[in-house]
Structures are given as C-alpha cells and as structure tokens.
Structure 1
Amino acid sequence: MIDLKEQSSLHTLHSLPLWKENEKLLSAAPAGESNMNLVLRIKTNLRSVILKQSKPFVRKFPQIPAPIDRIEIELCYYQLIEDDEVLSGYSPKVILYNAEHHILLIEDLGDGMDFNDIYAQGYTWKTKDFHSISKYLNALHELEVSNFPDNLEMRKLNHEHLFHFPFMEENGFDLDTIQPGLQVISLKYKKDTELKSALETLGKRYLSHGTTLLHGDFYPASWLKTENGVKIIDTEFAYMGDSEFDLGVLFAHFDLARMDASFQEDFLKSYEHSYAENLVNAYRGMEIMRRLIGIAQLPLSLSLDEKKKLLEKARTFILSQ
C-alpha cells in the first residue's frame, strides 16, 4: 500500500491506478479538516476530484489505532443511498474505489464549509439549511436495509471515546489545556459510579445490532454548506443501530450550540419515525459529556459555568435511560 501524505507529490499520486488515459495531475492539496482520514483535492487537466485514504490510525490523532477498512464502510453507505430519491442528492457520487490502497475517489462538491460556526454565540440558522438536515435524517431512517456491514471494529473504537476514555480519572488528557478549571469539574463525573454504570449499559446497547441505518456521526462537521445546498459527508461510522443514537447526537450539538429548544421541537415535527425519548436523551447526555471532557473537542464558545451546567444536565439525561 502506498501511504499518501498531506502533501503527496504528483508523481506518487500519478503512479496510482486511479486516472483516465491522458489524464495529467496538476495539483493536490488538503480538502478541509478531516479527523479520521487523509482527504485531498486533486485537480487534473480533466476534472477535480476528492481522494480519501484510510490508514491504520486516526489522522488527527496518529497515536490512536483505527480499522483501515473503514473506507469500505463509506463506500457501502454511498452505494446504498445512490438510488434513493432524497438521499442521493445530499452525498458525493463515488467515482472509483481502490481496495489495495484503501482509496476512495469521490465527486468534488466544491469549496464548501462545515457547520462548526453554529457553536458561535449569536449564530442564525438559515431555514433552508435546517430543513435540509431534518429531511436527510428522516429519509435515512426510512431506508429498509438488510445487508449493511456491522462495522463493529469502528464502533469499538468509537465506544472507547464515547463511553470510557472521558470518564477515566487518569487518562493523560489535561482538560485545563482546553479551559482552566475544567479538569477539576470533570473529576466529579469521573468518580461517579452511578453514572459509569449507566454509561456501561448504554455502551453495550451501542455495540449491539439494531434495525435502522445510522450515519453514526451526525454532527455539524459532517454537514457541508455548498453552492448546491447542504451535503452530508464522512460516513465511516455508519452502522445498523438505534435511531435514537443519531437523534441524541444531533440534539447534544443543539445544546452545545446554545440552540433554543424550539429547534428540537421543529425538527421532531418533521421526523416521521417512532423513538424512545429517554433513550434519545441518554445518548444525548453521553455526547454532551464526551465533547466537553473527552479528547474530541469542539470550537465551543461556552463559559466554564455553562459547561458545568451542561454536564449536570447530561448526567441527568444519561441516568434517565
């Protein structure tokens, strides 16, 4: 396998069996901030494409091992939805997959931006964008799927950072480097045996097989604003599970972005599937806590006091299951 880098030479890239006859590579550059995989925008004399390569570790945290075949999960996901009337318009088209080098070539959606700016104080939603995200998740959970890969190794990796690592008293991650005072606040939850027991139960549920195809990481960095509307990307955590997981993760980010409760109400008005509110809230609480005291930090503008209140709210949610 050729191990590509953030600034791979055109000669190295051209040596890969990915290109058309007489296609010349003109440039290669990182395409956005990807946590899991190497992502490059390749411009040639014929087109512009996005190249994604998975490696046996997490791109943003190379010290964390990760299943190298996760790019196949993304491929399976895109192939599954490519004929769906609603979902196909939200995702990039697959151009080519190379199993030997764990590379996926997909459509270049242009110079889009993710939705991480929703965490800024005073962010105003565009109604069309909000409805697009709502429409997407509703359509995804509508799909009848019988043969999607279980993606268990990726779920095990995610499980560690959702349910375990943030709650270790000694995990080597000093939260005061994120915000002074956060480490002391976190100790209350790291020593909370009742909370940890509830998280263990919820974590087992996360690792079990469910009946709904989930995006698995449905949060603002996976939503892309483009000239052609909202697109949904980064589907390597997809799996068959509880619909409540996607909902809980989504609503946790509403909380972290200080969004008014009316947004959740509006979202659920157009959500056409049954769900257990206490399970949604349990996953919601988990996501709030892991984003505040885990390694996968966000560009939040929350004060220490706001984080403290959110952590207590999250604990109540988790215990409600």
Structure 2
Amino acid sequence: MLIKAPLDLTQIAYLKKNGMLHAKEDVLDSYKAGEGNMNVTLAIKTNKRTFVLKQSRPFVAKYPHIPAPLDRIEIEYKYYNAINKDNLLANFSPDVLSFDKDSNLLALEYLDLGGDFLWLYDENATLKEGVADLMLTYLKKLHQLAVPDFPSNQEMRELNHRHIFVFPYLSENGFDLDDVQVGLQKLSAIVKNNPTLIKKIHLLGERYLQLGKVLIHGDFYPGSWFETGRGLKIIDTEFAFLGDPEFDLAIMLAHLKMARTSESELQRIINSYPLDNALLAQFTGTEILRRLFGLAQLPLFLSLVEKKELATYAINLIIDEKI
C-alpha cells in the first residue's frame, strides 16, 4: 500500500487494518511533514493525536530518477530499536509507534514545537550554547553501544558512496552546477582536475564500504538534528551501519564549518572527542566537497569566492590528513 497526502478511504482502511490507526480514530488531516530527501513523510492528524508516517520507495523521494533500496525504512526502525535500549540515547529519539514491513511503513511520534537545524547555514546563525556538547554526548554514547548484529545496510552505503566519493569528481556527470550558482561548474575543476585528490578520495571511499565495529548514524548533519519542546532529537537514521566513528563526527564538523562556525569552536569539538585525526580530516574534507560540487546541495549563502576558499580548505584536509 502506497501512502500519499491526503489519505483516501482505501489508505485509511489499510492503516486501521495494520494497527497504525486505531479502530475509532478519525483522520482529520494528512500532509507532507518536512522536506526530507529519502522517504515519503506525512503528518497524520486524527481526533485523538498527531503522528508521523514514513514510507520508503524504490527511489529517492526528492530525486525519483535515483534508485534506492526499499529496506532502508527497516534500517531506521532497527536503529531506533537498538539505541532505545540505552536510556540516554532513547531520550534523543522519537518514539517508535509501529512498523509495517510489508508496506515499508514506519509510524513515529510527531515532534512539535521545533524543526530541523537547516537554518544554521543562514548568515550570522549560530548554535545555542551547549547544543554542540549535546550532540557530542549523543555520538560518544552511540559509538560505545554494542550492536554486533546490526544489518550491513550495504545497498544504502553503496548509494551514499557514489554520491560522496565518486559523482562529484566525474568530469561529465550530467549535473550542471551553474544551475545552482553561475560559475560553480567552472570552479568544480579545482577537484575534478586533481588526480592526487581523487586517488585519496577513492581510497577513503573503499574504507567507507568496509564494515567496522561501531554503530554510526551515517548522516549526522543539520537536517537530522531536530529541536523540539522536549529537547534535541536525532532523526532520519536510514544510512546507519557499523563503520568508523570518525565519519559521524566528520559530517558534523563539515557542516559546522560550512555554517561559518569559528575555528576555535571546531577545535574545541575535535579536542572533546579524540579520534583518528587523519581519518577525521579526510572524511570532513570529503563531505564539504560533495556538498559544494555534488547532487545533495545545501542552502548555502556563500559567494563563489567563499566556496573556493572552502573547497581549498577541504582539499588541504584530505591531502594533508590533518585537522
């Protein structure tokens, strides 16, 4: 059963049959919940409550021409189940209400009185004091969690691998960066014509595809951070797998850098969670470059000069292996 807003009588009947809607529950409204990239996400308002329905499709919801594994929604479900055994981590997660494997449907608590952190890229925007430390607390606890039997999530890693470590560096990838910002296509030559850089990124990508021993979120950026009336929540966990803890921290650092966070604050964060510095540097630089020159663009209010400076910074992180 495919869901879409507004829910029709057939969809409502199915949701009552699978238990996601209660027998005496009336649907008052259903609408798109947020601007997620991967899945169809709806808010369902009834006469008793509001909750969220997420459904995976055999493609990326924002980019229907890109195939994506259907079982990613089950990965998200299993991630929440795994971390919710820890009280601290459970406090950072939305409540899981139910899961329907047959229709790739996940019902979650509706998070109100807030939103994601994509505003962080706005000029002069900064995190409130203590928020970065909360995120570090989450990551440290997550990376200590013993989950040896977590699914490999191989297909999602292969999808992510292509868009992080391959696509941005192809001379002809079919994506005209001038549609994002005039002059960006020409600027991309700074990475596309750098064989030393591309070789290092290739090797890093091979490491990314290998299974590690630590459960990681896999997409720890401002779109996955959610502010609510009950504090910070971490969402959208379909990229989770057993990998390198440096990857999660690197994603966080890369996006804070793109959001103009001060060097002193970035260094404070790095010092607060000591990991392999060379690996951290390379993953951080690669995430910056793929967000500048890849398909998954961000609302960055940066001039071409600023983007060139950012790209040079990222290239140096990868080449020098130091942050």
Shorter-chain TM-score: what band?
A: over 0.9
Shift of residue 252 of structure 1? Answer: 0.7
Confirm whether residue 282 of structure 1 aligns to residue 282 of structure 2: yes
Shift of residue 45 of structure 1? Answer: 1.9
Which deviations, in whole Å up to 9, do the C-alpha atoms of 1:30-62 show, x marking residues without a partner? 111110001111111222111000010000000
Question: CA distance change for structure 1 residues 190 and 6 in 2, over 3 Å: closer, same or farther?
Answer: farther
Point out the more displaced range, 60-69 or 135-144: 135-144
Point out the more displaced range, 8-17 or 73-82: 8-17
TM-score under structure 2 normalisation?
0.95
Confirm whether residue 297 of structure 1 aligns to residue 297 of structure 2: yes
Shift of residue 112 of structure 1? Answer: 2.4
Structure 1 unaligned segments of length 5 or more: list them.
Answer: none
Contact 2:6 2:29 in 1 (8 A): no
Shift of residue 111 of structure 1? Answer: 4.3
* Alignment partners' CA distance in 2, 1:15 and 1:223: 31
In the alignment, which residue of structure 2 is the partner of 1:237? 239
SS at match of 2:173: coil
Which deviations, in whole Å up to 9, do the C-alpha atoms of 1:44-96 show, x marking residues without a partner? 12221110000100000000000000001000110011121211001011111
Structure 2 unaligned segments of length 5 or more: list them.
Answer: none
Q: Which amino acid aligns with 1:313?
A: Y
Contact 1:90 1:230 in 2 (8 A): yes
Point out the more displaced range, 287-296 or 132-141: 132-141
Question: Identity of counterpart residues, as a percentage?
Answer: 46
In the alignment, which residue of structure 1 is the partner of 2:141? 139
Contact 1:6 1:38 in 2 (8 A): no
In the alignment, which residue of structure 1 is the partner of 2:11? 12
Shift of residue 6 of structure 1? Answer: 4.3
Confirm whether residue 121 of structure 1 aligns to residue 120 of structure 2: no
SS at match of 2:123: coil
SS at match of 2:112: coil
In the alignment, which residue of structure 1 is the partner of 2:207? 205
In the alignment, which residue of structure 2 is the partner of 1:94? 96
Q: Which amino acid aligns with 1:81?
A: I
* Alignment partners' CA distance in 2, 1:133 and 1:6: 33
Question: CA distance change for structure 1 residues 124 and 255 in 2, over 3 Å: closer, same or farther?
Answer: closer
1:214-253 matches, within 5 Å, as 214-253=216-255
SS at match of 1:314: helix
SS at match of 1:150: coil
Shift of residue 176 of structure 1? Answer: 0.9
* Alignment partners' CA distance in 2, 1:287 and 1:237: 15
Contact 1:286 1:314 in 2 (8 A): yes
In the alignment, which residue of structure 1 is the partner of 2:309? 309
Q: Which amino acid aligns with 1:289?
A: L
Confirm whether residue 3 of structure 1 aligns to residue 2 of structure 2: yes
* Alignment partners' CA distance in 1, 2:80 and 2:8: 28
1:130 to 126, 129, 132: 132
Q: Which amino acid aligns with 1:49?
A: F
Contact 1:163 1:286 in 2 (8 A): yes
Contact 1:10 1:25 in 2 (8 A): no
Equivalenced residue count is 318
1:61-80 matches, within 5 Å, as 61-80=63-82
Shift of residue 23 of structure 1? Answer: 1.8
In the alignment, which residue of structure 2 is the partner of 1:186? 188
2:164 to 162, 165, 170: 162
Q: Which amino acid aligns with 2:284?
A: R
Shift of residue 10 of structure 1? Answer: 5.0
1:241-280 matches, within 5 Å, as 241-271=243-273, 274-280=274-280
Shift of residue 9 of structure 1? Answer: 2.5
In the alignment, which residue of structure 1 is the partner of 2:31? 29
Shift of residue 125 of structure 1? Answer: 2.0
Shift of residue 5 of structure 1? Answer: 2.4
* Alignment partners' CA distance in 2, 1:200 and 1:6: 41
Question: CA distance change for structure 1 residues 111 and 13 in 2, over 3 Å: closer, same or farther?
Answer: farther
In the alignment, which residue of structure 2 is the partner of 1:41? 43
In the alignment, which residue of structure 1 is the partner of 2:178? 176
Shift of residue 269 of structure 1? Answer: 4.4
Contact 1:281 1:318 in 2 (8 A): yes
Q: Which amino acid aligns with 1:299?
A: P
